[in-house]
Amino acid sequence: MLRRTSQGRSTGSSDDITGGILPALQTPTSEVSDLRKFAATTCYPIIIKAVDGGGGRGIRVVRKEVDLAALAKRALQESPSGKAFAEKAAVDGYRHVEVQIIGDGKGNVRHLWERECSIQRRFQKVVEFAPSSIKDRKLVRSVIESALRMAEKAKQVNYTSLGTFEFLVRESPPKFYFLEVNPRLQVEHTITESLAMGIDLIKLQLLIAQGYPLSALSLSNLSQDSITPPPICSLQLRLTAEDVSSDWALSVGKIKSFRFPTGNGIRVDTHLLPSQPTIIGTDFDSLIAKIIITAPTWEDVVQKAKRALADTYVDGIKTSLDILRGIVASEAFTKQECDTQWLEASLPSVLESGKQISGQSTDASAGFSSSSSSSAIATASNVLFRKGDAWSISLTPEISSSSGSEEVKPAPSHLQLTKVLRNEFPTSMTASILYTTPSTEPTPYTLTLASTTASFGSISSAATPRRGDPGNQNHIVLPFAGKLIELLVEEGDEVQKGETVAVVRQMKMELEIRAGKGGRVVWVYEGEEGDEVGEGVLVAELEGSSSKL
Q: Is residue 385 within 8 Å of residue 415, measured between CB atoms?
A: no
DSSP string, 325-379: HHHHHSHHHHTT---TTHHHHHHHHHHHHHHHHHHHTHHHHHHHHH----TT---
Q: How far apart are CA 471 and CA 497, in angstroms?
A: 17
Q: How far apart are CA 54 and CA 182, in angstroms?
A: 10
Q: Which of 49, 125, 318, 483 is catalytic?
A: 125
Cβ atoms < 10 Å from Cβ of 107: 13
Q: How many residues does the chain have?
A: 549
Contacts of 33 (CB under 8 A, 6+ apart): none
Q: Return phi, psi of residue 239, to 5°.
A: -90, 120
Q: How far apart are CA 433 and CA 343, in angstroms?
A: 51
DSSP string, 86-133: EEE---SS-EEEEEEEEEESSS-EEEEEEEEEEEEETTEEEEEEES-S
Q: How far apart are CA 399 and CA 489, in angstroms?
A: 39
Q: How far apart are CA 241 and CA 228, in angstroms?
A: 38
Instruction: Name beta bridge partners: 111.
Output: 101
Residues 386-405 as b or e (16 or more Cβ within 10 Å = b) = eeeeeeeeeeeeeeeeeeee
Q: How far apart are CA 393 and CA 227, in angstroms?
A: 72
DSSP string, 161-197: EEEEEEEEEETTTTEEEEEEEE-S--TTHHHHHHHTT
* Closest by CA position to 508, among listed 14, 78, 62: 78
Q: Assign residue 492 a region: left if phi > 0, alpha if psi is -120 to 50, beta otherwise?
A: left
Q: How far is CA 296 from CA 149, 181, 231, 234, in A?
A: 30, 30, 6, 9
Say which amino acid occupies 111. H
Cβ atoms < 10 Å from Cβ of 207: 18
- Catalytic residue status for 125: yes
Using DSSP, state whether 497 is helix, strand or coil: coil
Q: How far apart are CA 340 and CA 344, in angstroms?
A: 9
SS (H, E, C) 446-463: EEEEECCCCCCCCCCCCC
Q: How far apart are CA 470 and CA 436, in angstroms?
A: 43
H or E element, residue 267: strand 266-270
Say which amino acid occupies 361. S
**Could you list the active site residues?**
125
